[in-house]
């Protein structure tokens, strides 16, 4: 394994007195928020490498794209076109507290979901309709009838914020569901749409995992109904990430997590989409245990190279770090370059314009809210503990909005939604607070 030179790592502890006076945590609440006026921006704070702030009070800003943002509060859904300063578009949606997924497409369409139900708005939330997913054979794909109606499954929830790519002049959206941790047992699928969400289909349906049957619990168990594709021998717990490599015109996916006695759940797959035939061909590249670098998230392709971050756990020794290699060398660890090792489980990462943002998994970290950053494409690194937010894991990193702010969920532990964090990297030569 080749190693990059030793990088400077800093750990700063911010605003202890301020955090104490605020109770250390800012929670969402709809009472003081106005859709017409917009919420006042939360206080902007800073580290040596970036500014950061929470969402405006009262609004959960679930996704962003360019100048648009989609959020929810108080039994309604909202759409902003000025980076969340005002929210002129809204609709009644009583199930808004159960939203587990959303994505804004390039043409402005919004896909969003609650558990096992997927919705699409094509007119800035004036109307929306339920989308019935299609199986590979074109038939309707119906979610299973849950044993516990309050746990229908996380069919569309994902840990990634970057879900769509321009391919031959068309936006192609592909994502896999991170499930079987909360919300009920769920079959594991990779979904896609090539018509701006009008039609959503299954790109890959994983097999039936006997350890995540629908027993009515939050994460499933070893009794109850089997879920998934009985014809697929590849089983997993959930999908960590799906990413696209334009150089190869290929998609890559990573699943998790363990080997529970019925085969590996952690796989790297490579998928080719035939647009003319509207078909997929997936091949498993690697199958391995949980303590491997291949148990990961944050897959990114930049200038023909693949980057990822490991959340290796399970039995020692841990094979962790932020890695880089040529795609043809994914299966050859001796060809990987370790760019940095945060020495903790880390499953989310996004790269844009030479900035690498990643996060610690809070339950496994000595930090409360650990953020990993490089502003020079991995030449130097820093880690910061935004401890005023309490134990939080940053997930679902979205690309910068029109004002240069990245967006991420802050989850309590690793799963439950808490707040939304915005991060703006500091650009050399630019001074002053945003």
Q: Which residue has the tokens 């997924």?
A: 101
In which region does residue 229 sit, left (phi positive, over 0), alpha (psi from -120 to 50) or beta (all else)? beta
Residues 279 and 177 in one domain: yes
Encoded tokens for 286:
């690697």
Q: Answer yes or no: are the C-beta atoms of 336 and 306 closer than 8 Å.
A: no
Number of domains in the chain: 2
Q: Are residues 143 and 271 in the same domain?
A: yes
pLDDT, tens only, 260-316: 999 999 999 999 999 999 999 999 999 999 999 999 999 999 999 999 999 999 889
Phi/psi for 362 (5° steps) reads -55, -45
- Is 333 a domain residue? no
Select from 294, 327, 357 the last residue of a domain: 294
Where is 20: in which H helix or E strand? helix 16-22
Whether 177 and 46 share a structural domain: no
386 and 264 within one domain: no
Torsion, CA 212, CA 164, CA 297, CA 81, rounded to 10: -100
Asked if residue 115 and residue 42 are part of one domain, the reply reads no
Residues 79 and 165 in one domain: no
Answer yes or no: do 111 and 47 share one domain. no
Q: Are residues 64 and 131 in the same domain?
A: no
Phi-psi region of 32 (alpha: psi -120 to 50; beta: other; left: phi over 0): alpha
Residue 361 resides in a domain: yes
Q: Are residues 28 and 137 in the same domain?
A: no
Residues 115 and 70 grouped into a single domain: no
Q: Say if residue 11 is in the same domain as residue 110.
A: no
- Is residue 25 in a domain? yes
Query: Do 385 and 401 belong together in one domain?
Result: yes
Residue 329 in any domain: the answer is no
Domain that holds residue 157: 95-294
Mean pLDDT, the chain, integer: 90
pLDDT in tens, 391-426: 999 999 999 999 999 999 999 988 999 999 999 999
Tens of each residue's pLDDT in the chain, 434 residues: 233 333 333 333 222 222 222 222 222 222 223 333 344 568 999 999 999 999 988 899 999 999 999 999 999 999 999 999 999 999 999 999 999 999 999 999 999 999 999 999 999 999 999 999 999 999 999 999 999 999 999 999 999 999 999 999 999 999 999 999 999 999 999 999 999 999 999 999 999 999 999 999 999 999 999 999 999 999 999 999 999 999 999 999 999 999 999 999 999 999 999 999 999 999 999 999 999 999 999 999 999 999 999 999 988 999 999 999 999 999 999 999 999 999 999 999 999 999 999 999 999 999 999 999 999 999 999 999 999 999 999 999 999 999 999 999 999 988 999 999 999 999 876 667 78
Verdict on whether the full-model pTM lies above 0.85: yes
């Amino acid at each position: 394994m080749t190693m990059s030179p030793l990088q400077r790592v800093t750990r700063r502890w911010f605003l202890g007195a301020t955090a104490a006076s605020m109770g250390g945590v800012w929670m969402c609440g709809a009472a003081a928020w106005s859709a017409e006026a917009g919420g006042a921006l939360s206080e902007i704070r800073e580290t040596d490498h970036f500014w950061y702030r929470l969402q405006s009070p009262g609004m959960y800003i679930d996704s962003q794209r360019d100048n648009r943002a989609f959020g929810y509060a108080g039994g309604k859904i909202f759409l902003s076109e000025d980076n969340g300063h005002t929210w002129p578009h809204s609709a009644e949606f009583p199930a808004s507290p159960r939203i587990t997924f959303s994505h804004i497409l390039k043409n402005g369409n919004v896909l969003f979901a609650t558990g096992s139900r997927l919705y699409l708005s094509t007119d800035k939330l004036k109307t929306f309709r339920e989308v019935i997913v299609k199986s590979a054979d074109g038939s309707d794909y119906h979610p299973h009838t849950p044993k516990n109606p309050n746990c229908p499954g996380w069919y569309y929830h994902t840990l990634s914020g970057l879900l769509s790519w321009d391919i031959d002049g068309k936006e192609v959206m592909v994502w896999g569901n991170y499930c079987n941790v909360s919300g009920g047992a769920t079959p594991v699928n990779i979904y896609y749409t090539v018509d701006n969400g009008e039609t959503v289909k299954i790109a890959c349906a994983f097999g039936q995992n006997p350890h995540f049957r629908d027993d009515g619990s939050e994460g499933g168990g070893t009794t109850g109904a089997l879920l998934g594709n009985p014809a697929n021998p590849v089983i997993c717990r959930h999908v960590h990430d799906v990413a696209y490599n334009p150089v190869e015109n290929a998609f890559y996916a990573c699943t998790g997590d363990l080997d529970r006695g019925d085969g590996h759940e952690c796989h790297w797959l490579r998928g080719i989409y035939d647009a003319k035939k509207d078909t997929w061909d997936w091949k498993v590249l690697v199958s391995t245990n949980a303590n491997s670098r291949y148990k990961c998230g944050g897959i990114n392709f930049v200038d023909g190279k693949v980057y990822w971050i490991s959340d290796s756990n399970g039995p020692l020794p841990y094979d962790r770090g932020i890695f880089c290699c040529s795609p043809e060398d994914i299966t050859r660890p001796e060809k990987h370059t370790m760019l940095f090792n945060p020495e903790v489980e880390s499953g989310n990462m996004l790269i844009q314009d030479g900035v690498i943002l990643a996060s610690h998994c809070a339950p496994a970290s000595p930090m409360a809210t650990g953020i990993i950053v490089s502003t020079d494409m991995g030449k130097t690194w820093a880690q910061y503990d935004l401890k005023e937010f309490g134990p939080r894991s940053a997930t679902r990193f979205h690309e910068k909005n029109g004002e240069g702010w990245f967006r991420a969920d802050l989850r309590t532990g690793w799963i439950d939604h808490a707040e939304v964090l915005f991060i703006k990297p500091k650009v050399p030569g630019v001074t002053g607070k945003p």
